[in-house]
Every structure is written in C-alpha cells, then in structure tokens.
Amino acid sequence: MKHTALYLRVSTEAQADEGYSLAAQAEKLEAYCRMKGIAQFQRYVDGGFSGSNLSRPAVGEMIEAIRSGTVERVVVYKLDRLSRSQKDTLYLIEDVFLPHGVDFVSINENIDTGSPYGRAMIGILSAFAQLERENIFLRTRMGMVERVRQGYWPGGGKTPFGYDYDAAKGILVPNADADTVREIYARFLAGQSTGRIARELGLKYEHLVRQILLRESNTGIVVYKGERYPGRHEPLIDQDTFARVRQRFDRRDRPRAAAGGKLLTGLMVCGHCGAKMRYQKWGGAGDKLVCYSRDRSKPHLVHDAHCPNRGVMAHKVEAVVIRDLARLAAEPAPPTVQADGEAACRRTLERAERRLRRLYELYAEGEDDALRKTIERARHERARAEQALRQAEQAALQQEQDEACRALQTIGSCWDRLTAEERQMLVRACVQKIVLKNEKIEIFYAIDGAQTRAADVG
C-alpha cells in the first residue's frame, strides 16, 4: 500500500525558536493529513542537517521508497525544508517525484504539483530559496573577513603546531610546543635537513617540519583567502627569520644532503663529455669516481659511449676539495652589502603597491592634474621600494654565503666530529660543481668572490 511521505528537517537548534522545530513541523504536517483524509503516512526526519545538499540519510531513504513505488506524495511544511538549493529542488521534483507519479506539497507556500500552477511556482520559489542561502553565505563570509581584518584567528581546521586556540579571546596562544617551533627554525638555518630535524625532535614525519617552517602564522600574521592581516596572537619568530627560511626553500639550488652519505655525490661532472659522475665500489681500494657515460646501467645519463675518462679514486679527489676549502676559509671574506631586512622591504613594497592601486582607482573615476602628480610620486616610491627589496635579497644571499664561509672553519677545528651528512651539507653550501678530467680537477664555487680552482689529483 502506498503512503504519503512527511519530510522534516532542522539544521540547528536555533530553528526551534523560529517555529521550525521537528515537533512543530510534525504537528502541521499531520494536521494537513487529517484535513485531507490521508490515513497512511510515514515520517522521514533529518535532524541537524544542512539543506545546501542532498547528503542526508532521510532524504536518501525517501528517494529509495519513491523509486520502489511505495510513495504517492511528499509533503513538507516549507519549501526550504526540502532543500535550499535550486538545483537540488528541481532535481527532486523533475527527476524523482514526477517520473514516479509522486505529487509534492509545500503547506506554507500552498504549492501542490498536482496542478500546473503549482509546478510553475516551484521553479520561482526554489530560486528564492537558493538566493537566501547565498546571501547567508555572503554575510557569513563578510563577517569572517572583518573578523580576520581585526586580527582574530578565523578558526576552523587544525590549530597550528605550537599554538592553542583560545575561543573566548578568538586568538592563538603559544603552548608547550612553541619552543620546539623556534628550535626547528634555528636548526634549519644552521644547515640541518628537515628529515634530521624531525628525527631528533621526535616529530612524526618530515613533511610536518616543512609545514611549520613555511607557516606564516608563526610570525603573528593571519592568512585568510590569500590575503595577509596583522594578527593579535603572539609571534613565535620574527619576520626576518621567516624570510630567510622561505628564501632557502625558494632557491632551486639550495644545498641538500644527497643519498648515500658520500661527500661529493651530485657535484661531480665529467670534463670529457659533460655527463655526471658517481661513486662506484672499487674492490678493497675503496670507491672510485666514474663517468656515467662509461656505465651502461643508466642509458639516459650517457653523453658519449666512447668517453675516455678513466675515473679516479674518490679519496684523492675528496682530499683536494677539503684542502682547497680550508684555503678558501683562510682568506678574508668580501665585504657584505648592508640593507634593511628583507621582510620589512617586502612589506614596504606591498604598501606602496596598494597605495598606487587606490590612486589609479580614484583617477579612473575622474581625471585630475593633482591626482596625476600624486600617482607619479607613488610610482617613484614603488620603484625605490623595489630597489630596496632587491638590495635586501642580495644581502640575505650574501649572509648565507658568509655563514657558509664561517662554517668552513669547522674543517680545521672539528671536521672529524661532523657526521657524513653535515660534511656533505658544508661542501654543497660552498661548491657549485666539480669537473674531473682524468687527473685534472676544477672546482667551481658558489660563493661570490671565490675563484674557480684548478689542480692535479695527486
């Protein structure tokens, strides 16, 4: 026997105050059935579900009942109880209800799809239901933007590592992990890899270290929908530290420790054919540096199948490189370029660009000679800010190179106490590539002022 489906929905408890409670809806729907003499009916109830989509259990159950042929009509108290989406409303009516001979009744709007007028009104009213939903979303979004603009944390999602969320104040508060965050930045800038940092600090995975290092909220900034706002929460690091870390990630040639722990892995290039060179076990004598063109295991790395490079024992090349790094460390460092902090220069440039955009908007509304002159001055200010940023970036790069030069002092003092990874990081911070042509070695440095060094492998 077919029955009438009474569909009820509330999304929040607050709707009970507006007369939308489940009990209020049930009372009105059952009164309708008594008035129409409908004896067979069944409730389909979704409590605490949004009407923005059809991912609701009772809706799914009702659709199954309709397709099985056991429902003759669907009755709701108000159209938006069925759905707030025009697309979903029309889908239910046009693709579910009508094809199965099921009428739809909305008591509040006095709609009955059993009549042509009722079917026409459905399209109009469902459009208004969706309009209201979009207005609610817009008001919520505008309120959130204003909240973030005032420096409050937007909430939602996962609280950043190193902070707790104070719901009463609406801000982030440093917790017991804040010192770990600071230690992560210090270790990374000291040259440690993200993998080693994760292992030594007991973090679950290496990617978490990268996430922490690139999270701008650690500087007191709130990032929302691609925009940056000064936050009310306490920063864990300063802007300059964050800028230095980001610059290291952005640099394509940032030194990385290579797999295997070999000192010169990834730096060696054949002087005959230009192919890369690798370490190869050479009996009891140790490792030998061989050209990939003479190694058929990786055909895509072969440059010249007849390359004459005979290779050379690795310990001899490593000894030459270490000696030359010690020589370089003993030379006086070139003067550094003094400039304002990169982060401060970047903020100044952003302010200049925002001011220039506002002036262009004003000029578009009405041309004015005075405004044109103001725009010209603003363009000069932006140009100065761009120049200052370039100088700051150069100074930051120089600072990294100075740190690499200072790190070279460890060759003489504590080289033997460094791990293989730390030695590798030190060499890769200073050396761009090493060209090996039989017994001839040429070292190309990545440090400004350091000359290419040619020598014989003894």
What angle, 0 to 180 degrees and rounded to 10, lies between the N-to-C axes of helices 206-213 and 194-201? Answer: 110
The residue written with tokens 């969320």 in the block is 165
DSSP-derived 3-state class of residue 171: strand
Note if 11 is an active site residue. yes
- What span, in angstroms and rounded, lies between the C-alpha atoms of 136 and 11? 14
Amino acid in the structure at residue 368: D
172's enclosing H/E stretch is strand 171-174
Secondary structure, 3-state, 59-102? HHHHHHHHHCCCEEEEEECCHHHHCCCHHHHHHHHHHHHHHHCC
Sequence-ordered list of residues with C-beta below 8 angstroms from that of 258, at least 6 positions apart, any chain? 265, 266, 424, 428
Amino acid in the structure at residue 259: A
CB 389 within 8 A of CB 346: yes
Name the active-site residue from 11, 21, 50, 52.
Answer: 11
Listing DSSP states for 427-453 in one string gives HHHHEEEEEEETTEEEEEESSTTPPPE
Buried-exposed string 33-50: b where 16+ CB fall within 10 A, e elsewhere: eeeeebeebeebbbeebe
Buried-exposed string 240-253: b where 16+ CB fall within 10 A, e elsewhere: bbbbbbebbeeeee
- What span, in angstroms and rounded, lies between the C-alpha atoms of 455 and 113? 92
Which of 277, 340, 287, 344 lies closest to 313 in space, CA to CA?
Answer: 287
Q: Are strands 111-112 and 163-166 parallel, antiparallel or unpaired?
A: unpaired
Nearest 5°: CA angle at 21, between 15 and 25? 130
- Which residues are designated catalytic? 11
